[in-house]
């Protein structure tokens, strides 16, 4: 980065000083060499004095900006006088016949335009840095909000599972050790990575373990279907993004009052790197009025917010259908590829 910055400055000075240096007669005589050195020694110090000292303080000065505008103008006057004097001295000492020298006003006008270029570049640099800082702040805010949303989802799932373990432990069920083992695997995945994106294969394996855990704790009268289609290699997804919809189907769809209890899940990955998830669950009629009130719980409200932050309106589409006897979710996602994942996680 430092070398790149030096290279950019060298290219700038080559372009800026080329007209003045090429105006000299080559090969350079002793006097013309002195004039060339004078140009090189006068212009850069004045430029960096304006861009690195005056302008940074001017931009932070608030109501006292006029002080630094005065310093900039006084510097321009001083450098113009110094430039005129040094070229006059070079003409007297290195040239037999002193070339005609511009007036002080002409030196000042030339230096003033040079100062205007320095001021303009300083404003451009300040704007560019402010855009980068604003983007970094926004990325940090988004990542902090995403972490908060993830932590809001995880305890909800954990408490539900612990309640099931407690119930099996009271019954001294043989399923208890396997449920604890499944839960430990899920917790390792939940705590393993703080990245915004994870491999889709890991997320699908996590869902598969979750369904296996639910099958262990639920009786055989509940029909649970899971069908995953397509190739997940090289694709990435936000972690814990699909589970809240699946967990919600078990939370509200499995009730002893339902005559036919079921949860059906289909996840399909297309060749165009998009994912389609369909979730449908039975629902007891008594819960329909309550769900129409708009209370969708912390889990679903959090995952909807994550979808907005990570995918935006063009990369996801979510539809929910709340019917009298069932609840249905249709989710479309445009998945991240390997290179996109690496760039986004490095921000």
Give pLDDT tens digits for 180-192.
888 887 777 776 6
Of residues 181 and 154, more confidently modeled: 181
Average pLDDT over residues 286-308: 62
Of 101, 122, 137, the one marking the end of a domain is 101
Residues 188 and 43 in one domain: no
The average confidence (pLDDT) of the chain is: 79
Average pLDDT over residues 10-25: 72
Task: Specify if 58 maps to a domain.
Answer: yes
Task: Specify if 50 maps to a domain.
Answer: yes
For the chain, the domain total comes to 2
**DSSP code for 28:** P
Cα end-to-end distance, the chain, whole Å:
16
CB of 38 closer than 8 Å to CB of 87: yes
Residues 206 and 272 in one domain: yes
Tell me the pLDDT tens digit for each residue of 209-254.
Answer: 888 888 877 767 778 899 999 998 889 998 888 888 888 888 776 6
Of residues 184 and 158, more confidently modeled: 184
Percent of the chain with pLDDT over 70: 78
* C-alpha pair distances (Å), 328 with each of 225, 279, 318: 14, 6, 11
Residues 177 and 91 in one domain: no
Angle at 65 between CA 62 and CA 67, to 5 degrees: 135
pTM for the full predicted model: 0.56
* pLDDT recorded at residue 204: 92
* pLDDT recorded at residue 23: 67
Residues 155 and 80 in one domain: no
Task: Specify if 110 maps to a domain.
Answer: no
The yes-or-no verdict on residue 294 having pLDDT over 60 is no
* pLDDT recorded at residue 151: 60
Tell me the pLDDT tens digit for each residue of 37-89.
Answer: 787 788 888 888 888 888 888 887 777 788 888 888 999 999 899 888 888 88
What CA–CA distance (Å, rounded) separates 262 from 224? Answer: 6
The yes-or-no verdict on residue 342 having pLDDT over 50 is no
What strands, in cross-sheet order, belong to the sheet with 235-237?
198-199, 235-237, 336-337
* pLDDT recorded at residue 141: 67
Residues 72 and 158 in one domain: no
* pLDDT recorded at residue 288: 46
The yes-or-no verdict on residue 111 having pLDDT over 90 is no
- Contacts of residue 55, defined as CB under 8 A and 6 or more positions apart, other chains included, come to 68, 72, 118, 119, 122, 123, 126
Domain hosting residue 275, numbered range: 148-345
Residues 88 and 154 in one domain: no
Average pLDDT over residues 15-29: 69
* pLDDT recorded at residue 293: 47
CB of 267 closer than 8 Å to CB of 227: yes
CATH (domain of 185): 3.30.565.10
Of residues 204 and 218, more confidently modeled: 204
Of 46, 77, 101, the one marking the end of a domain is 101
Of residues 8 and 248, more confidently modeled: 248
The yes-or-no verdict on residue 99 having pLDDT over 70 is no
Task: Specify if 143 maps to a domain.
Answer: no
Of residues 167 and 144, more confidently modeled: 167
Residues 164 and 263 in one domain: yes
What CA–CA distance (Å, rounded) separates 187 from 153? Answer: 13
* pLDDT recorded at residue 213: 82
The yes-or-no verdict on residue 2 having pLDDT over 90 is no
The yes-or-no verdict on residue 343 having pLDDT over 50 is no
Whose structure tokens read 């000075």? Answer: 13
Residues 180 and 308 in one domain: yes
Q: Name the phi and psi angles at 131, rounded to 5.
A: -65, -40
* pLDDT recorded at residue 258: 55
Alpha helix positions (H), the chain: 2-22, 30-48, 55-60, 65-94, 104-171, 176-192, 200-217, 243-253, 288-291, 297-310, 338-345
- pLDDT confidence tier of residue 330, bands split at 50, 70 and 90: very high
Task: Specify if 201 maps to a domain.
Answer: yes
The yes-or-no verdict on residue 274 having pLDDT over 90 is yes
The yes-or-no verdict on residue 333 having pLDDT over 90 is yes
Burial 17-42 (b: 16+ CB within 10 A, else e): eeeeeeeeeeeeeebbebbbeebeeb
């Amino acid at each position: 980065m430092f070398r790149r910055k030096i290279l950019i400055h060298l290219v700038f000075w080559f372009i800026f000083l080329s007209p003045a240096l090429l105006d000299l007669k080559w090969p350079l005589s002793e006097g013309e060499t002195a004039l060339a050195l004078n140009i090189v020694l006068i212009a850069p110090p004045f430029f960096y004095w304006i861009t690195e000292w005056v302008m940074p303080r001017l931009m932070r000065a608030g109501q006292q900006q006029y002080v630094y505008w005065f310093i900039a103008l006084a510097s321009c006057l001083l450098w113009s006088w110094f430039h005129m004097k040094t070229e006059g001295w070079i003409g007297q000492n290195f040239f037999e016949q002193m070339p005609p020298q511009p007036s002080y006003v002409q030196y000042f006008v030339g230096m003033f335009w040079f100062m205007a270029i320095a001021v303009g570049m300083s404003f451009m640099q300040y704007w560019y840095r402010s855009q980068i800082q604003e983007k970094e702040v926004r990325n940090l805010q988004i990542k902090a909000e995403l972490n908060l949303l993830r932590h809001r989802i995880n305890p909800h799932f954990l408490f539900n599972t612990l309640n099931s373990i407690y119930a099996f432990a009271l019954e001294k069920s043989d399923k208890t050790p396997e449920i604890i083992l499944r839960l430990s695997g899920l917790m390792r995945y939940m705590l393993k990575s703080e990245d915004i994106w994870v491999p889709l294969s890991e997320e699908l394996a996590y869902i598969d373990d979750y369904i296996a855990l639910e099958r262990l704790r639920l009786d055989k009268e509940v029909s649970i279907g899971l069908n995953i289609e397509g190739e997940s290699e090289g694709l990435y997804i936000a972690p814990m993004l699909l589970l809240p919809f699946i967990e919600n189907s078990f939370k509200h769809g499995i009730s002893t009052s339902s005559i036919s209890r079921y949860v059906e899940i289909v996840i399909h990955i297309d060749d165009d790197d998009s994912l389609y998830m369909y979730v449908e669950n039975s629902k007891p009629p008594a819960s329909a009025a309550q769900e129409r009130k708009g209370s969708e719980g912390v889990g679903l409200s959090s995952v909807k917010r994550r979808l907005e932050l990570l995918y935006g309106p063009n990369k996801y589409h979510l539809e929910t259908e709340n019917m009298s006897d069932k609840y249905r979710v249709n989710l479309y996602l445009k998945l991240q590829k390997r290179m996109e994942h690496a760039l986004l996680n490095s921000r």
